[in-house]
Amino acid sequence: MSIWWSLHLRREAASVSLARRLLLGTMETAGVDPDISFDLSVALSEACANAVEHGGGGGVPDETEAYHVTAYLDGDRCRIEVTDSGPGFPPATVARRRPALAEHGRGLHLIAELSDHVRFRNRPGRGAVVSFDKMLKWRDDALLKAS
C-alpha cells in the first residue's frame, strides 16, 4: 500500500496545524499506530514551523512566500519532506546526521530524535530541505496495513 500527498502552503502559522492534521488523518485512516503518528506529526510541526519562521528570502514570514510539504507512506515506512525558499541551513547542520543542541535549532534536534533517519540539505539559491522517515507500526484493526 502506498499513499502520498503534497501541499503548497503559505508561510503563516495556520499552515502548520493544517499540515499536521492532514498527516494525522492520513495515518489514522491507513491504520498506523497512534504513537508513531504522534511522533511524526510533532516532527512535521517542527519542520513546518521552521519553514514559516526561517524559510523566506528576508527572514521574516511573508504570506506571499510558500513552502512545500510532501508525505509518502510506502509499505512500512513514512517519509516526509519540507522544502522552503529561505537562506538554508548553517553548514554545521548540513554536515551532521544529528544536529547539535543549541539555543536555536531545538526543533531540528527534536525532528532527529522522533524519526529513524533525518537529512538536512541546502539547495543553493533555492532554499532548504529537511527530510525524515520512520518505520510504521500498524493497529491490529488497520484496513490498509502494508503487506
pLDDT digits (tens, 9 = 90+) for 26-84: 999 999 999 999 999 999 999 999 999 988 876 555 555 899 999 999 989 999 999 99
Give percent of the chain above pLDDT 90.
Answer: 63
User: What order of strands is seen across the sheet that includes strand 117-123?
Assistant: 2-10, 66-74, 77-83, 127-135, 117-123
Listed in sequence order, the residues at least 6 apart from 77 whose beta carbon sits closer than 8 Å to its beta carbon are: 133, 134, 135, 136
Please say if the pLDDT value at position 104 is more than 70: no
Which pLDDT score, from 0 to 100, does residue 55 have?
Answer: 87
What are the φ/ψ torsions at residue 12 (nearest 5 degrees)? -140, 155
Which pLDDT score, from 0 to 100, does residue 60 have?
Answer: 58
Mean pLDDT, the chain, whole residue set? 87
Record the pTM.
Answer: 0.88
Please say if the pLDDT value at position 99 is more than 50: yes
The whole-angstrom separation of Cα 21 and Cα 28 is 10
Say whether 79 sits in a helix, a strand or coil. strand
Listed in sequence order, the residues at least 6 apart from 60 whose beta carbon sits closer than 8 Å to its beta carbon are: none
Which pLDDT score, from 0 to 100, does residue 103 have?
Answer: 47
Query: Is the Cβ–Cβ distance between 90 and 104 less than 8 Å?
Result: no
If one counts every other C-beta atom within 10 angstroms of the C-beta of residue 132, the result is 23
Q: What is the mean pLDDT of residues 113-131?
A: 92
Weakest mean pLDDT among 53-57, 96-100, 108-112, 141-145: 96-100
Listed in sequence order, the residues at least 6 apart from 68 whose beta carbon sits closer than 8 Å to its beta carbon are: 6, 7, 8, 9, 81, 82, 83, 84
